Each structure stands twice: as structure tokens, then as C-alpha cells.
């Protein structure tokens, strides 16, 4: 049985992506992501940077890679590897600069291992992540007319609502 409190539903135009959160790796990050999700922060945000064969990045309210929620997170590095489906926090050069932006891996990237906070993995719907509009490699993956998160929810909230109905 899935831990619904640590499962996220990320809805795209093409379908639902289910993410299993890993608070055992990144408890502070997972708590903050759930807080943002429950506040509707991610709803409507774009996948502003998407690089074929690498990753799809979202979580910036400005849509250009420079924004966030305004609350920096301390790095929670682990031995977890960046493989297809890994969900990890984006950051600047400062290891403790992650905020709300995160990325989903299309393929393994060992060069990221131990340098970015891994907080989850896609457990279903990776085919929808694969369909996210890709950016221009010459422009570091910047996407023109990007795909957006329609809605992001904590599964326990969705399933709880269904049970009460």
C-alpha cells in the first residue's frame, strides 16, 4: 500500500504523474514541497527548462529559472543516484540555495549524484514526463511556449476527499 501522505499527483495535459516522496533522504525538503503543494504553489507553473535526454525543470513562478517561493532549503544530499524518474531539487552554485524549483530526470546523470537533494521518484506516468515540450539545447534548454503543471496534490488529500464524499 502506498504512503499517500508521501505521494504526489502531478497532473499534466497528457495525464497524471505519480511521485513517491522520500522523506528518509530529505525530510526538510519533502515537508516544504508538501507545504507548497497544499498551498497551490505549483499549479499552473511551467516546465521552463527541459533538455532532451537529461531533465525537465519546473517550480519557478517567474518562469525563467530565477524565481522561487522565497524560502531557501539546506542541502540534504544522499547516496541516492540520479536515474530516470528521479526527482531532485534545482539550485544555484551555493549547495544551500534550493527553494521551490525541481527537476525530473529523463536519463541517468551520475555527475549530479551527491550534489543535489533527491526527494522522490516517479512511480507511474513517466510517459507523460517524456512528452513535456523540450527546450532549445543552444539556449540551455529554455522552452518556448512551455507545458505547465495543471495541478499538483498530495495523494492523501485527494484520496481523503474521495473517501468523505
pLDDT in tens, 11-40: 999 999 999 999 999 999 999 999 999 999
Nearest to 99 by CA among 117, 79, 126: 117
Say yes or no: domain 4-164 is CATH 3.10.20.30. Answer: no
Rounded Cα gap, residues 34 and 93, in angstroms: 25
Structure pTM? 0.95
DSSP run (H or E) holding 32: helix 27-38
Q: What is the pLDDT of residues 125-151, one digit of tens each?
A: 999 999 999 999 889 999 999 999 999
- What ranges do the domains of the chain cover? 4-164
Number of H helices, E strands in the chain: 3, 8
Amino acid at each position: 500500500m502506498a504512503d499517500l501522505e508521501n505521494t504526489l499527483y502531478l497532473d499534466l495535459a497528457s495525464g497524471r504523474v505519480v511521485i513517491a516522496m522520500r522523506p528518509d533522504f530529505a525530510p526538510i525538503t519533502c515537508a516544504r514541497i508538501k507545504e507548497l503543494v497544499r498551498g497551490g504553489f505549483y499549479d499552473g507553473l511551467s516546465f521552463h527548462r527541459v533538455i532532451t535526454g537529461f531533465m525537465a525543470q519546473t517550480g519557478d513562478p517567474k518562469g525563467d529559472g530565477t524565481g522561487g517561493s522565497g524560502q531557501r532549503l539546506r542541502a540534504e544530499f544522499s547516496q541516492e543516484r540520479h536515474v530516470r524518474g528521479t526527482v531532485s531539487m534545482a539550485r544555484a552554485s551555493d549547495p544551500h540555495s534550493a527553494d521551490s524549483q525541481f527537476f525530473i530526470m529523463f536519463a541517468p546523470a551520475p555527475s549530479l549524484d551527491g550534489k543535489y537533494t533527491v526527494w522522490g521518484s516517479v512511480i507511474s506516468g513517466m510517459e507523460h514526463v517524456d512528452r513535456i515540450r523540450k527546450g532549445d539545447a543552444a539556449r540551455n534548454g529554455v522552452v518556448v511556449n512551455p507545458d505547465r503543471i495543471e495541478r499538483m496534490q498530495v495523494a492523501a488529500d485527494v484520496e481523503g476527499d474521495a473517501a468523505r464524499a
